[in-house]
Amino acid sequence: MMRAIEFRSTIRENKILIPRKMVPELIVESDKSVRVIVFVEESDVYDDKVFRQMAKSQFLKGYSEADAVYDL
């Protein structure tokens, strides 16, 4: 069984900083397995443009000339 601990942080020098108040929650006597999920806030318009372009190019990779019969 796993228990969830949630907190907001920043990434500095490619390391996720753990808030001081959360440290006691993460102290263990021996090695423990953990599952880490990171949600990155997106606020840059550039990121949205890059994502849309990548999604469009990936979508079109699945398009075949044989599919043209469905075009109007």
Residue 55 is which amino acid?
A
Task: Give the pLDDT score at 45.
Answer: 56
Q: Using CA atoms, how far apart are residues 55 and 51, in angstroms rounded to an integer?
A: 6
Q: Using CA atoms, how far apart are residues 50 and 47, in angstroms rounded to an integer?
A: 5
Convert the pLDDT of each residue in 32-45 to its tens digit: 888 889 888 776 55
The pair of three-digit structure tokens given for residue 33, joined into one six-digit string:
């397995």
pTM (2 d.p.) = 0.48
Task: Give the pLDDT score at 65.
Answer: 74
Convert the pLDDT of each residue in 48-64 to its tens digit: 777 888 888 888 777 77
Task: Give the pLDDT score at 44.
Answer: 59
Distance of CA 22 to the CA centre of its chain: 22
